[in-house]
């Protein structure tokens, strides 16, 4: 399942964005949650970290995370000021206490033009870390 999902993520294959498409059952997110070996979110923005920390389930991704028992691997990427903001720090701590694992962020050039903490880990390293879960 993990390899299939990774292939979907890096290919142009259809992926799930909405819960209420006419051609899918409304409970499709539960099936995905039940069958997941791992939930990997990369990039994990400040917004998604806040939603996950506070139990929001207002889209396919957050609904899957709330419904799954699979490990959660988060690869944060955001402006450094956002990463060190007390709200983000608190959200990360909540997620860690619930068992979420984090990879990154690292220091480097950001999309906003700043060079600081907040850069997404290299994709090949994210994939390698995700594949470690398959071996468990």
Selecting among 112, 123, 128, 131, the annotated active-site residue is: 112
* Euclidean distance between CA atoms 37 and 29, whole angstroms: 14
Query: Could you confirm whether 7 is annotated as catalytic?
Result: no
Please report which residue ranges of the chain form alpha helices under DSSP H. Answer: 2-10, 28-35, 46-53, 60-67, 80-84, 86-97, 123-134
Place of tokens 């071996």: 135
The DSSP annotation for 11-49 comes to SSS-----S--TTS-TTHHHHHHHH-S-EEEEEE-HHHH
Which residues are the active-site residues?
112
């Amino acid at each position: 399942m993990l390899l299939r999902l990774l292939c979907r993520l890096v290919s142009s294959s259809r992926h799930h964005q909405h819960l209420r498409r006419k051609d899918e059952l409304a409970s499709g997110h539960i099936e995905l949650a039940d069958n997941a070996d791992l939930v990997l979110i990369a990039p994990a923005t400040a917004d998604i970290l806040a939603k996950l920390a506070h139990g929001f389930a207002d889209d396919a991704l957050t609904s899957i995370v709330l419904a799954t028992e699979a490990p959660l691997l988060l690869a944060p990427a955001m402006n450094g000021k956002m990463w060190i903001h007390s709200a983000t720090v608190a959200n990360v701590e909540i997620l860690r206490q619930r068992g979420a694992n984090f990879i990154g962020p690292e220091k480097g050039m950001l999309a906003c033009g700043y060079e600081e903490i907040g850069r997404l880990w290299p994709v090949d390293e994210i994939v390698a870390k995700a594949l470690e879960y398959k071996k468990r």
